[in-house]
């Protein structure tokens, strides 16, 4: 039982950055703008979050803001200049990967002040569930809150309805007096903000070290999870932990000393991503 709880706890940790990035991209795509540059934005968030943390002791907000500003490149290209969204998103990935590697080269081998797990009051004393969900770090708890707020925003507010209407029928939204471009700018910026938070989680909570390309494809898994969750924040919540569970399971198998090649085990989350996409299409 302890082993199962340990794996499920690790699944929540592994799924948190995917969840954060996915929720941000759901908001962006609900406005009618697809941003495939999540991986690059996460790396920008991870790098700037780590570097700012080494200088000031806290880099979370800086990571979110830097990734948000970086995402505005995509917004300018696709919303203002009508550049193909796929091309712009891929370009953002290449730029984010290269820029984070160049600037972050000076921080390789250093450590930063990170977020440590702590029990969340009486919730942490709940049998099994408390150990899995409420003995985590502050960013995991923040991901719970953000997921609920995004669900409420999209389905229970006039602003959320306006955003969804822009994505569903921009011509009707424009005729109703809504600023289609303004809403899409805001949605893309929010997606960048959440991707920056996801990147900061990886460099400041999941690990407290910086290394190039440390997101290891999690941004692409987030892109797949948006489709898997059918653009629904609630489905993204358990979908992210399902993907995180595959990652935690393959790590547990390696630690247990299985004779399976570690390269095959490391492929499991990505193979599962492809299968999930095939099922959800």
142-165 per-position pLDDT tens digit: 999 999 999 999 999 999 999 999
Note the pLDDT of residue 24. 98
C-alpha span between 166 and 187 (Å, rounded):
11
Tens digit of pLDDT for each residue in 210-260?
A: 999 999 999 999 999 999 999 999 999 988 999 899 988 888 887 777 778
- Written in H, E and C, the secondary structure of 66-102 is HHHHHHHHHHHHHHHCCCCHHHHHHHHHHHHHHHHHH
Q: What is the C-alpha separation between 167 and 180, in angstroms, rounded? A: 9
The predicted model scores a pTM of 0.95
Read off the pLDDT of residues 169-188 as tens digits, 9 standing for 90 and up.
999 999 999 999 999 999 99
Share above pLDDT 90 across residues of the chain, in percent, rounded to a whole number: 79
Cβ contact 253:260 at 8 Å: yes
Asked if residue 135 lies in contact with residue 10, where contact means CB atoms within 8 angstroms, the answer is no
CB of 62 closer than 8 Å to CB of 49: yes
Helix (H, G, I), strand (E, B) or coil at 209: strand
Q: Radius of gyration of the chain from Cα atoms? A: 19
pLDDT, residue 279, reads 77
Distance CA 69, CA 67 (A): 5
Q: How far apart are CA 260 and CA 251, in angstroms?
A: 12
pLDDT tens-digit series, residues 62-104 = 999 999 999 999 999 999 999 999 999 999 999 999 999 999 9
- Model pLDDT, residue 117: 95
- Mean pLDDT of the region 203-214: 93
pLDDT at 281 over 70: no
């Amino acid at each position: 039982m302890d082993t199962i709880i340990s794996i499920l706890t690790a699944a929540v940790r592994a799924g948190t950055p995917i969840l954060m990035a996915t929720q941000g991209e759901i908001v962006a795509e609900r406005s009618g703008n697809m941003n495939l540059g999540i991986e690059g934005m996460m790396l920008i968030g991870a790098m700037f979050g780590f570097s700012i943390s080494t200088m000031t002791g806290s880099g979370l907000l800086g990571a979110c803001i830097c990734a948000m500003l970086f995402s505005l490149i995509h917004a300018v290209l696709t919303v203002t200049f009508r550049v193909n969204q796929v091309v712009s998103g891929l370009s953002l990935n290449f730029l984010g990967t290269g820029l984070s590697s160049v600037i972050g080269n000076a921080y390789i081998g250093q450590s930063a002040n990170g977020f440590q797990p702590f029990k969340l009051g009486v919730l942490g004393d709940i049998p099994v569930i408390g150990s899995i969900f409420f003995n985590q770090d502050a960013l995991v708890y923040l991901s719970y809150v953000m997921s609920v707020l995004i669900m409420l925003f999209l389905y229970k507010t006039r602003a959320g309805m306006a955003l969804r209407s822009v994505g569903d029928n921009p011509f009707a939204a424009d005729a109703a007096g809504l600023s289609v471009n303004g809403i899409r700018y805001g949605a893309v910026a929010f997606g960048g903000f959440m991707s920056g938070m996801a990147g900061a989680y990886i460099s400041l909570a999941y690990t407290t070290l910086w290394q190039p390309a440390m997101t290891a494809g999690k941004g692409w898994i987030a892109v797949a999870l948006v489709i898997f969750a059918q653009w629904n924040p609630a489905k993204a919540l358990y979908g992210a932990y399902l993907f995180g569970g595959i990652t935690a399971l393959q790590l547990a198998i390696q630690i247990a000393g299985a004779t399976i090649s570690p390269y095959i085990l490391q492929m499991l989350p990505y193979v599962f991503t492809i299968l999930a996409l095939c099922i959800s299409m």
